[in-house]
Amino acid sequence: MNNKKDQAAFHLMLAPSIVFLIIFSFIPMFGIVMAFQNYIPAKGISESAWVGLDNFKFMFQIPDSRQILVNTIVIALWKIIVGTVVSIVFALLLNEIRVRFAKKFMQTVVYLPNFLSWAVLATVVMNIFSYEGPVNAFLGWLGIDPVLFMASNHWFRPMLVLTDVWKGFGYGSIIYLASLTAIDPGLYEASSIDGANRFKQLWHITLPGLMPTILLVTTLNLPNVLNAGFDQIFNLYNPLVYATSDIIDTYVYRVGLVERQYSLGTAIGLLRSVVGIVLILSANKLAQKLTDYRIF
């Protein structure tokens, strides 16, 4: 009927968003050519000399590049594994709380850190674990020498994982809680008639019921192995712990923007996003195969 008018309305609705995407997403994509140039800001993209794959070759020759890649993947994997396990356990425990008020209160408390920025939390974490902070005060009380947690290559990674999980586990548990409520209560009744105790119910009903969600969330986490958490590390680290905490994103920031090596920064960024896309697309395929879910 009014089809022409409808089509026009739809195009008009999308127009402003598309304009913004063109300016701030698509035009920057042309900047990627910098990765193949020796970009000099005074000359601009059109005048700078082409160097082919030199930036990429140089990237692999930097002595730190291996270390950075290892840091990124190790930190990200630990965060994913510990984060998933803690979220599931927390959802299971919370599900057992029968007092409504207590449950709501708990949820409010554990979801909250997710909404605070690392700029703020980092300052708090640094104070708590500082040389004279409460943690070291407690260790001193136990007769243990103070530890420089934030300046020790031995402690820094565990600190990253610990604080990241603390910030995110409540929020991560929401999806598991939701799928727990979707498990048929009839199964529990039937099993208790058959004499199954709570632990057996957990093993034979709850965990299998959660399995599809666990599988899905884990699959969707796959692309994050190159994303070890810029905000957190950038706000917490210092040159003393670069060896164990410098990740691709923090490195690109320092090389590209602070040291103004635009071409090298762009090249590393490009390689990272290409691998990232491959991971996202594979996760999407995998999730579709395993659980019939599609991100897009």
Within residues 42-101, the interface with another protein by CB under 8 A covers: none
Among the listed residues 59, 74, 97, 148, the single contact to another protein using CB under 8 A: 148
How many CB atoms are located within 10 Å of the residue 97 CB? 14
Residue 226 binding another protein, by CB under 8 A: no
Among the listed residues 14, 139, 144, 243, the single contact to another protein using CB under 8 A: 14
Q: Interface with another protein by CB under 8 A: which range of 3-11, 86-94, 154-162, 190-198?
A: 3-11
Which of 206, 213 has the CB closer to another protein? 213
Residue 16 binding another protein, by CB under 8 A: yes
In whole angstroms, what is the distance from residue 101 CA to residue 118 CA? 30
Residue 253 binding another protein, by CB under 8 A: yes
Which of 81, 280 has the CB closer to another protein? 280
User: Which residue type occupies 286?
Assistant: L
Where is 50: in which H helix or E strand?
strand 49-50
Give the nearest distance from C-beta 148 to another protein in angstroms: 6
Measured over the CA atoms of residue 7, residue 9, residue 14 and residue 20, the dihedral's sign is positive
| DSSP per-residue codes, 194-221 | TT--HHHHIIIIIHHHHHHHHHHHHHHH
Kindly give, in sequence order, each residue whose CB lies less than 8 Å from that of residue 112, ignoring residues fewer than 6 positions away. Answer: 170
Give the nearest distance from C-beta 198 to another protein in angstroms: 25
| DSSP per-residue codes, 115-130 | GS-HHHHHHHHHHHTS
User: Interface residues for another protein in 109-128 (CB under 8 A)?
Assistant: 111-112, 115-117, 119-120, 122-124, 126-127
Give the nearest distance from C-beta 156 to another protein in angstroms: 13
In whole angstroms, what is the distance from residue 202 CA to residue 18 CA? 49
How far apart, in Å, are the Cα atoms of 110 and each of 147, 218, 231?
28, 21, 20
Which of 152, 201 has the CB closer to another protein? 152
Give the nearest distance from C-beta 68 to another protein in angstroms: 16
Residue 240 binding another protein, by CB under 8 A: yes
Where is 264: in which H helix or E strand?
helix 262-291
User: Interface residues for another protein in 195-214 (CB under 8 A)?
Assistant: 213
Residue 102 binding another protein, by CB under 8 A: no
Where is 250: in which H helix or E strand?
helix 248-252
Q: Interface with another protein by CB under 8 A: which range of 71-79, 159-167, 195-203, 277-285?
A: 277-285
In whole angstroms, what is the distance from residue 88 CA to residue 83 CA? 9
Among the listed residues 40, 243, 277, 290, the single contact to another protein using CB under 8 A: 277
Residue 40 binding another protein, by CB under 8 A: no
Residue 140: phi, psi to the nearest 5? -60, -40
Which of 25, 61 has the CB closer to another protein? 25
Contact letters for another protein, residues 169-198 (x by CB under 8 A): -----xx--xx-------------------
